[in-house]
Amino acid sequence: MAYITKFEIENFKGIESLELEVAEKHKCPVVTLVGLNESGKTTILEAISHFVTAEGTISKEPGRKNAANLLSLVPIAKKANFSGIIEISATVMMEDADRRNVESNFDKAGYIIDSEQLPKSFTITRKYYFAEGEYKKLTNMWDLAFFAKKKGRGKIFREYVRPKEEEINAGTPDLWQSCVELIKKSLPTIAYFPMFLVDVPDRIYLTQYEDEHPSQRYYREVLQDILDSLDEDLDLEQHVVKRIRNYQEQESKPNWLTLLWSRPEKGMIDSVVQKLSSAISREVIGSWKNIFNRPISAKMITIDWNVDLEKDSIPYLTFGISDGESKYALHERSLGFRWFFLFLLFTRFKCDKERPTLFLFDEPAANLHARAQTELLMSFGRIIENRNGIIYSTHSAHMINPQWIPAAQIVENTAINYDSDDEMLSFSSPPTSITVVPYRRFASLNPDRSSYFQPILDKLDHISPKISPDGPVLVTEGISDFHAFLFYCSELLTIKGISLLPGLGDTQHDSQIANLIGMGRNFIVVLDDDQSGNRAAKRYREKWLLDCNHVATLGELHSDAAGKKLETILSSETLSAISAHFSHTGAPKKKEIGLYFSEANAGLIQDKSPKTAEMVKDILNEAVKRILNQSTK
């Protein structure tokens, strides 16, 4: 199967030029987009939804009738009179199976292909052309060349030249096009689930009408996907809309709709709608319990059809939820119920049977409570089975999976100064210059801008010790020390029954010390052995009448750590690994050390330095002895 490693976007709304890495350095199937409000997360997802392999719901190839809708895609600053090209491209990596298919395709046509010049990767680009504010045309370009020679002829491989149209009409095969079709069948289908879909319309119209909401077209496509899944060659247009239109034309009476209700055609239409209802009930209600491990009150999804005589007699469907006794309209149910219902509907019927699907979710956790967000995140794990992928945006820590952090991306609108009250409170439209940077790189380059990736920090830094620990307590100087000590010594602390708590810095332990003394707990505060740490240790001992068993520096716990702090007790091997982890050279910052060990505690990293492990364990062993020594006094 071919797979996408990178998307590139140019001139799309607020995006001037942007690259989004998907799987170049890893095979993580989920990309998490994290950023502040108005950062551009939705814009990125919208752009990807217009790529060549999009399933068509949002971005069908435009005709003149709906080309005006594409004006919403042009650069915001150039809407008045845009002349240029909107580009959405992707780098595609071919696997061995794709390469064998190409070689076989040429072989059957009497050619030998040069396998050494057969590229492992290539780009596909979709371009929308505009001139003076008007849409002109659309092109899809595959930057892919094949070098081959006729069997038994010549020794030189030459670039394959596609036959002319008249040659194709005369029977000459277009091997380039047939190879492209083979590769396209293995590329992931892109399925976009925008936020507006949660606002379920009370009527889903089965044909397009003027000024309809984008959700109408989307729901029509989903309903057709459901019929397609039945493999009965059923078509909404053919077997519902045309049957109604044909009867209307044949009868041509004002009361034609009333007459239709007693005709055989109605039974045929009812049968199609009933098949829709049964398929949705079976898949959605059946999946609900499997995914969320609890039953659902709904017993049946009902669908009714009618005709809107005031809207050019357009047929429409309405959704209902029946619990066996009462029936409710779907749009009247709670936001959480609607979201999960549509989420299951979307993911169950948008999966392509022949190739994987790349799902795009825009803020899927919006307006869901914490438990629902956690359940939603767990359900993502089931979606990515069978080589499916997900790109989703979020600003919630409940929607961060530590296992997917290597693929997380930070989205930023560099044109907005989020620290300026004047700009944030302005009534004018915010400027846009959207960028995206891999999380680890962003964290390394911007350690003081943690608000941009706060959901990831909240997830990694989430600690759940008891508020009132009932045993001995070891307090670290800060969060970086906490994660490092926990990574190397979690087993030791568990065996000894000691709770590990993070401090807020060497000068901020007074409240913790007061609480621990008040609760009568045995404890020790471990500080760096630098000038600041030694000064703080002395102050705590004098103020709270404590000894070295309660407050100690690293140097007091281990002679080799004298005058050192966390950054300098780590081995050179560990420090190099941390720098490499964040893609730079030189000594890592303390913030990077904390992030590194927080990811390690999430199971994403295995540190291989026995020297660091030995040093940290020796320090913690001595600290544990001092805590336990308090119990003997």
* pLDDT tens for each residue of 396-450: 888 988 778 878 899 998 877 665 555 544 445 556 789 999 887 888 788 778 7
How much is the mean pLDDT over the chain? 85
Bridge partners of residue 32, in order along the sequence: 392
Average pLDDT of the residues in 327-343: 80
Residue 222 to residues 144, 217, 351, 473: CA-CA distances in angstroms?
33, 9, 11, 56
Would you say the C-alpha torsion 563, 565, 570, 574 has a positive or negative sign? negative
CA separation for the pair 515, 55 (Å, rounded): 59
Q: Chain-centre distance of CA 632, in angstroms?
A: 54
Are 514 and 475 in contact by the 8 Å Cβ rule? The answer is no
Q: What are phi and psi of 130, to 5 degrees?
A: -130, 150
pLDDT recorded at residue 127:
95
pLDDT recorded at residue 253:
87
Domains of the chain and any CATH numbers:
3-188+355-392 (3.40.50), 199-345 (no CATH), 473-631 (no CATH)
pLDDT recorded at residue 495:
87
Q: Compute the C-alpha angle 505/507/510, nearest 5°.
A: 105
Q: How confident is the model at residue 465 (pLDDT cuts 50, 70, 90)?
A: very low
pLDDT tens-digit readout, 215-259: 888 889 889 989 998 989 999 999 999 999 999 999 888 899 999
pLDDT recorded at residue 24:
53
Tokens of 311: 């809207």
pLDDT recorded at residue 291:
63
pLDDT recorded at residue 431:
60
Q: What are phi and psi of 141, to 5 degrees?
A: -110, 130
Average pLDDT of the residues in 355-362: 90
pLDDT recorded at residue 55:
62
Instruction: Output 252 or 360, whichever has higher pLDDT.
Output: 360
CA separation for the pair 574, 378 (Å, rounded): 33
Instruction: Output 288 or 182, whichever has higher pLDDT.
Output: 182
Q: What does the DSSP assignment read for 184-246?
A: HHHSPEEEEE-GGGGS--S-EESS--TT--HHHHHHHHHHHHHHHHTTS---HIIIIIHHHHH
Q: What does the DSSP assignment read for 505-527?
A: -TT--HHHHHHHHHTT--EEEEE
Residue 462 to residues 138, 375, 501, 600, 601: CA-CA distances in angstroms?
48, 18, 12, 14, 11
Q: Is the pLDDT of residue 514 over 70?
A: yes
CA-wise closest residue to 590 among 539, 631, 530: 530
Are 128 and 51 in contact by the 8 Å Cβ rule? The answer is no
H or E element: which one contains 12? strand 3-12
Q: Is the pLDDT of residue 63 over 50?
A: no
Q: How big is the chain, counted in residues?
A: 633
CA separation for the pair 601, 581 (Å, rounded): 15
323-346 as b/e: b if 16+ CB within 10 A: eeeeeeebeebeeebbbbbbbbbb
Bridge partners of residue 54, in order along the sequence: 190
pTM: 0.74
Are 343 and 369 in contact by the 8 Å Cβ rule? The answer is no
Range from 434-448, 450-464, 593-607 carrying the lowest mean pLDDT:
450-464
pLDDT recorded at residue 508:
85
Instruction: Output 67 or 268, whichever has higher pLDDT.
Output: 268
Q: Is the pLDDT of residue 62 over 50?
A: no
- Identity of the amino acid at 347: T
pLDDT recorded at residue 61:
43
CA-wise closest residue to 301 among 330, 343, 267: 330
- Helix locations, 384-427, DSSP H: 421-424
